[in-house]
Amino acid sequence: MFEVKAATFEVNGSRLLHPTDLSFDEGRVYGLIGHNGSGKSTLLKLLAQQQPASRGEVRFDDRPLARWGHREFARQVAYLPQHLPSAENLTGRELIGFGRYPWHGLLGRHTREDSDQVERAIELTHTQAFADRLVDTLSGGERQRVWLAMLLAQGSRFLLLDEPLAALDIAHQVEVLALVRQLCRELGLGVVIVLHDVNMAARYCDHLVALHSGRILAQGSPREMMDDATLEAIYGIPMRVMSHPGGEHPIAVVH
């Protein structure tokens, strides 16, 4: 679905992303991991058509992103930035309705299909109980679920999520990631998500891509990536991988 071919990104002569080759398919959750400034958000913005590659190219459905119109692309790929815009004086349902913009524009009248997609997104994200409350009054976890519902209402095949767990407590982090994985499984969506917590990434993602100083340092399944030496190279501190007490998956701790 997505192909990154020798793509780089530079700003004022400084290279933030070195030549990168990757592919991302539908039906899988991909986690981008690494320390701050490693190039995770830069890569995600290339995928999201938020900035063009300086060299190389990014393709979606075997077509360069430069040849996709913005609304046409938004019908296929939904992007949630790290810093969310204000939703002041909007209810959850109204915010979710903005996900239908790519299908009729800002001034277009909502159709029955739009309303059905909004209600479906509310049901899938279990946001019925607070869909008619103001977004500003919701808890962090509730707010993130409403934003996810907006992406689902968009009807896209791919979700690009930049640090959706920021400022959430551990319970809400688990809630959001479990929902993302469930939606991937049930709807066959492709998901690329930027995460800081390697244990969360290993638990909820199918494939991990580690970046360091704008380069891909390693990639593979969570079990392949959860290795003492690999994690120390990624994060720059000694780490030890241990068996989870429940035996389900390995966990990493600072050594």
Residues 171-200, buried b or exposed e (16+ Cβ, 10 A)?
A: ebbbbbbebbbebbeeeebbbbbbbebbbb
Tell whether 178 and 110 lie within a shared domain. Answer: yes
Dmax over CA atoms of the chain, in Å, equals: 57
Instruction: Band the pLDDT of 91: cuts 50, 70, 90.
Output: very high
In the structure, what pLDDT confidence band is assigned to residue 107 with cuts at 50, 70 and 90?
low
Q: What is the pLDDT of residues 198-222, one digit of tens each?
A: 999 999 999 999 999 999 999 999 9
- The confidence band for 245, taking pLDDT boundaries of 50, 70 and 90, is confident
Supply angle C-alpha 7, 10, 11, rounded to 5.
155
Partners of 7 in the β-ladder:
20
Are both 149 and 62 inside the same structural domain? no
Q: What's the pLDDT score for residue 88?
A: 84
Residue 87 has pLDDT above 90, yes or no: no
CATH number at residue 81: 3.40.50.300
Instruction: Tell me: do 150 and 192 sit in the same domain.
Output: yes
Report the pLDDT averaged over residues 100-120: 84
Whether residue 170 sits in one domain with residue 143: yes
Which range marks the domain in which residue 122 is found? 70-196
pLDDT of residue 106: 62
Q: How many domains does the chain have?
A: 2
CA 204 to chain centre: 12
Whether the Cβ atoms of residue 93 and residue 121 lie closer than 8 Å to each other:
no
State if pTM tops 0.85.
yes
- Confidence at 165, pLDDT banded by 50, 70, 90: confident
Average pLDDT, the chain: 92
